[in-house]
Structure 1
Amino acid sequence: MGTDELLEIHFWETLFRTTMAFLVLLILARVMGKKQISQLTFFHYVTGITIGSIAAEIAAQYETAFVDGIIAMIWWAVLTLLMSYIALKSKRARVLLDDQPTIVVYEGKLVEKAMKKSRLHLNDLNMMLREQSIFSIKEVYYAILETNGNLSVLKKADQEPATKKDVNAPAPEPKYMPSEIISDGKIVKKNLTELNLTEEWVYDQLKKQGIGQVKQVYYAEIQTDGSLHIDVQPEKE
């Protein structure tokens, strides 16, 4: 068999394998149900990637037997549906597959253990809050890290949206943008420099609140009016 004939066979075989993999993947996607990307838990995310990888393997790798690949893709989808059904009927299975929401801010206080367990850094938490137009942790009463990685926030009652115009209150311009000053017992010198503040100023603020050492502070954040919001380190059990 000549090279040209071999290339032609591979061309048509590739088209056939790709088309069939595409159709099977489309059917499986419809059978497995609808979920927005933002709603996917880690389990469903990994499952989707795996099924997609199997489809790509079927389409592009001649060494992979076509029928074996289709069987593997369908069986993986069946296992996913089976586990989803079990999770629907069993709370324990649901927690095993998708974990459960984690409270990372409780009644206005950071929950250090929960953040460490979730591998959520203070910088990540601040970023997720800013995505919801919340620039200070002080505004938060509860914050819950959902199983899909999103952050649900309940603001403190006095932070609920009501414009200054609504209550005829003065609206002074903020002196500072809320920024972390102390993170996990260490001063964030970069932010101090950007805000034209000194370490002496930090120590003075701590003394005013009865705190003698920086290492006693888990998180401290400057507010728009120049005051310092402080979360102390939890007591070791």
Structure 2
Amino acid sequence: MDDFFEVDFWEMIMRVTVTFFVLLILARFMGKKQISQLTFFHYVTGITIGSIAGEIAGVSKTPLLDGLIAMIWWTFLTMLMSYIAFKSKKARIILDDQPTIVVYEGKIVEASLKKLRLHLNDLSMMLREQSIFSIKDVHYAILETNGQLSVLKKAGQEAATKKDVNAPAQVPKYIPTEVIAEGKITPKNLTELNLTQEWLYEQLKKQGIGNVEHVFYAEVQTDGSLHVDMKSEDGK
């Protein structure tokens, strides 16, 4: 029990100080790309270096010199792999992966969602974070290597310019809402919109769709119309 309260004050001060300045110097060497954690590789590397630094500063059983060597060597390996990725496109793809198109010409790419293990709800959330409430407004959407979604809106859906400020605006009847996902109806969302499944079947029928299971994604628009994205026969 007495060992629990034993603290070598000056040793801990020295360890934290040395670790702080070494980490500061290493971070400077690694550059802004590492600090911003642009890719999964840099994210994991940043966490690992931080963990090593924390181990050196807070665990007296860890030899200071051993910990510093581990942290410096890990930094060197990170910089080496970054240099290789800079010189080689193949190495860059292996380390950082590459952007993936998830919406192509207004249609959701099912194969990309499966590959990324990205649910439709996740895609909708990422679009809403960019103030896009309807997939119908999207021409292209690309999931970048840092996990962020880049979106190109359809023509006419871009942000208004000064010439557009006098354009008439209509009050939306609905918030764009998912009502079918991967061939299954979402009853809860229909209820919140005060719509029925009979209404949904009728809307599908108007578009020549007789089976809900053939629909990959359907969304009620602000004007009450239904946007439908059919399942791809080849899953692409």
C-alpha distance in structure 2 between counterparts of 1:28 and 1:202, whole Å: 59
C-alpha distance in structure 1 between counterparts of 2:189 and 2:14, whole Å: 58
Q: Is the 8 A contact 2:37 2:43 kept in 1?
A: no
TM-superposition CA deviations, 1:63-119 (whole Å, max 9, x none)? 211111100000000000000000000000000000000000000000010011112
Inter-CA distance 192–37: structure 2 relative to 1 (3 Å threshold): farther
The alignment's TM-score, normalised by the length of structure 2, stands at 0.93
C-alpha distance in structure 2 between counterparts of 1:33 and 1:62, whole Å: 30
Identify the residue that residue 173 of structure 1 maps to in structure 2: 171
Q: Is the 8 A contact 2:27 2:35 kept in 1?
A: no
Letter in 2 for 1:128: M
Identify the residue that residue 30 of structure 1 maps to in structure 2: 28
Q: Is the 8 A contact 1:55 1:73 kept in 2?
A: yes
Identify the residue that residue 57 of structure 1 maps to in structure 2: 55
Q: Is the aligned partner of 1:184 residue 2:194?
A: no
Give the CA deviation at 1:161.
2.5
TM-superposition CA deviations, 1:19-66 (whole Å, max 9, x none)? 111111000000000138666211101101100100110111122111
Inter-CA distance 38–118: structure 2 relative to 1 (3 Å threshold): farther
Q: Is the 8 A contact 1:164 1:170 kept in 2?
A: no
Residue segments in structure 1 that go unaligned for 5+ positions in a row = none
Give the CA deviation at 1:162.
3.0
User: Identity across aligned pairs (percent)?
Assistant: 73
Q: Is the 8 A contact 1:58 1:64 kept in 2?
A: yes
1:73 aligns with one of 64, 71, 74: 71
C-alpha distance in structure 1 between counterparts of 2:125 and 2:35, whole Å: 20
Q: Is the 8 A contact 2:101 2:143 kept in 1?
A: yes
Identify the residue that residue 224 of structure 2 maps to in structure 1: 226
C-alpha distance in structure 2 between counterparts of 1:123 and 1:38, whole Å: 27
1:214 aligns with one of 190, 208, 212: 212
More deviation in 105-114 or 168-177? Answer: 168-177
C-alpha distance in structure 2 between counterparts of 1:164 and 1:209, whole Å: 37
- Root-mean-square deviation over aligned CA pairs: 2.0
Inter-CA distance 37–52: structure 2 relative to 1 (3 Å threshold): closer
Identify the residue that residue 121 of structure 1 maps to in structure 2: 119
Identify the residue that residue 85 of structure 1 maps to in structure 2: 83
Give the CA deviation at 1:167.
7.5
TM-superposition CA deviations, 1:157-183 (whole Å, max 9, x none)? 121233798385432211100010101
C-alpha distance in structure 2 between counterparts of 1:191 and 1:72, whole Å: 53
Count of residues paired in the alignment: 233
TM-superposition CA deviations, 1:197-228 (whole Å, max 9, x none)? 01111111111111111111100000011000
| Structure 1 outlier segments of 4+, above 4 Å | 36-39
1:102-141 paired onto structure 2 within 5 Å: 102-141=100-139
The secondary structure found in structure 1 opposite 2:172 is coil
